[in-house]
Chains A and B, each alone.
Chain A
Amino acid sequence: EAQVTQNPRYLITVTGKKLTVTCSQNMNHEYMSWYRQDPGLGLRQIYYSMNVEVTDKGDVPEGYKVSRKEKRNFPLILESPSPNQTSLYFCASSLIGQGRGRTEAFFGQGTRLTVV
């Protein structure tokens, strides 16, 4: 089954304690991305990656790091979480490029993070 898997689904942590949210996809997609969703602000892109070892900042990258060492995995790292990073986080993956006769995009089920 095609899917994007995020872990953990729920996390409560304390300010300053480093954490990693994992994201894995099984569709061999080139493109992967992280978003945060906050009430009144909608979905905002944190980082994205067009392929292995290629990452770029989205609109709200401050306080986050990512890596893309393998095509299937795209972890989100919060080196020193703060309460303003309390949010619902989504990982997504999709095919890049047109003319392939197929377009698809999938989101993970989300990670609700609370930083106290």
Chain B
Amino acid sequence: EDKVVQSPLSLVVHEGDTVTLNCSYEVTNFRSLLWYKQEKKAPTFLFMLTSSGIEKKSGRLSSILDKKELFSILNITATQTGDSAIYLCAPQTGGFKTIFGAGTRLFVKA
């Protein structure tokens, strides 16, 4: 059965801190892994990862995939209050089915 585990479930940090969010997965015939940020309503796309060891970056956010150990991490440096959100990890199978993790709820204190 396909499974996605995100950790920690929730995290409270102060502005300026660096955080690392984890996603481990077991899916059938893995194709890719997507990260999303969900604030009030709809998730917004952050990254799509398909190859191991290649870091994707966007501003203060970065992510990397390890297909051998079946995990991905999302790093956020110099956190800001606007980073407060739920971060969702979503591996995709070879058949393009998408399985979402439960998410990590991040709260950044001013």
A-side interface residues toward B, CB under 8 Å? 31, 33, 35, 42-45, 48, 50, 56, 58-59, 90, 94, 96, 98, 103-110
8 A-B pairs with least C-beta separation:
A107-B42, A43-B100, A105-B45, A103-B48, A42-B102, A107-B43, A110-B41, A45-B98
Most buried by A among B44, B90, B95, B100: B100
- Contact between B103 and A42 (Cβ–Cβ < 8 Å)? yes
Contacts of A108 in B (CB 8 A): 42
- Within the assembled complex, what's the spacing in Å between the Cα atoms of A59 and B32? 18
Give the interface size class of chain B.
20 to 34
Cα(A33)–Cα(B95), bound, Å = 13
Could you say which residues of chain A place their CB within 8 Å of the CB of B48? 103, 105
Closest B residue to A4 by beta carbon equals B42
Proximity string of chain B (18-46) to chain A, C-beta cutoff 8 Å, 1 when within and 0 when not: 00000000000000101010000111110
A42–B97 touching, CB < 8 Å? no
Give chain A residues whose Cβ lies under 8 Å from the Cβ of B50.
98
Nearest CB in chain A to that of B4: its residue: A42
Which residues of chain B come closer than 8 Å to A103, judged between CB atoms?
48
CA distance A59 to B97 in the complex (A): 8
| CA–CA, A33 and B64, complex, Å | 25
Which of chain B's residues have a CB closer than 8 A to the CB of A48? 96-98
Chain B nearest Cβ from A91, distance in angstroms: 9
Residues of B within 8 A of A107 (CB): 36, 42-45
List, in ascending order, chain B residues with CB within 8 A of A94's CB: 45
Residues of chain A with a CB closer than 8 A to B103's CB: 42
A sample of 24 cross-chain residue pairs with beta-carbon separation below 8 angstroms, ordered by A number, consists of A35-B100, A42-B88, A42-B102, A42-B103, A43-B43, A44-B100, A45-B97, A45-B99, A45-B100, A48-B97, A48-B98, A56-B95, A58-B97, A94-B45, A98-B32, A103-B48, A104-B45, A105-B34, A105-B36, A105-B48, A106-B45, A107-B43, A107-B45, A110-B41
